[in-house]
Amino acid sequence: MAATIEARNLWDRIGELLFANSLDPTVSNFDICRRYVLGADDALVRSVDQAIARHGGLTRTAVAGLVALHSRAIATDEIIRFAQEARQKAEEAATAMGDAQDGTRRFADALEAGASTLATGQGPELVIADLLAETRLMTERAWAAEDKIRKASEEIQGLRAKLAEASLTANSDPLTGLPNRRALEARLRNAFDAAKDERVTFSLAICDIDNFKRINDTHGHPIGDQVIKLIASSLSRVGSDSLFVARYGGEEFVVVFDGNEPDEAMSRLDTIRADVAARQVTLRQTGETLGRVTFSSGISGMRGRRDVSAMLKAADEALYRAKNEGRNRICLAD
């Protein structure tokens, strides 16, 4: 009983958090709220507290950033397995409830039949004995059904949590730990819709590592992977709920700047670019010096653009211009 009360309190607190912040009860929103209420993930709790302090609550934009920043990689087949197990447990619970209902109906029928027999004055001792036996059977069935339902409910709760986490972590890039392209596309759609609804703006940047093919050809793909991780770390080090970083594919990254016009986004990103360009990169394994590793970027805003695809296209064109103008620079889209 105590476990049931504790679980109910947990659900109530999660529901209150969703309702208080006008969040839809989606898997992603539910999981962020669940992990925050449980308090087991210190990094997530800090991020949520910061978002609440900054915005006065959890906006859709903030939650979308939290989802991506606190996800981990997991295989798709595990998601399917969790879903199948949860369905199986739900069916077991439904069966147990059906058994309990059938037992109740049988007991009611026995009571009615016994009452009719007693009304005729025939064999009261036998009727009472039959009713007592039926009562004992119904009680045993009820206890068994209650135990099945309780166990199934606990297992469903655990599987639901795993499914929510698995759905989130399927959106991570295994090399860098950043959100992958799938997560980025969802994040951009949410950002665009939220910006329109809340009458705010956002900008995005496409970043591309300069001369990456030459790095791969000269030093090999394992070193190329280390360079990708270096840039990923540099970009994500300043990550927050207002700056979202994802691996777009290959040596490209996309940075989303919530609430920033393109010139503001350029100022923030240029600080990172300059910091990266100032370093002399040395390979830990061999002590070999790679020299400077730089990246170029194109930035676009949402004003005057009908959708996210138009923003990405404009940013890509600006990136192409930055490459042509000498690399290691940032250009704003027209």
- Give me the catalytic one of 251, 264, 288, 317: 251
Query: Side chain identity at 98, as an amino acid letter?
Result: G
CA distance 31 to 64: 12
**Residues 91, 109: Cα–Cα separation, whole Å:** 27
Q: Which residue, 275, 276, 296, 311, is CA-closest to 208?
A: 296
Q: Is 251 a catalytic residue?
A: yes
Q: What angle do CA 258, 259, 263 make, to 5 degrees?
A: 100
Side chain identity at 37, as an amino acid letter?
Answer: V
Q: Which token pair is 83? A: 């879903």
Contact 331, 299 (CB under 8 A): yes
Half-sphere exposure of residue 70, counting CA atoms within 13 Å on the CB side? 26
Which helix or strand (DSSP H or E) is residue 6 part of? helix 2-20
User: How is residue 61 written in tokens?
Assistant: 């934009």
Helices (H), 56-211: 60-69, 76-119, 124-169, 181-197
Q: Would strands 252-258 and 281-282 be described as parallel, antiparallel, or unpaired? A: unpaired
CB 292 within 8 A of CB 281: yes
Residues in the chain: 334
Q: Which residues contact 248 (CB under 8 A, 6 or more apart)?
A: 181, 184, 206, 254
- Please give the positions annotated as active site: 251
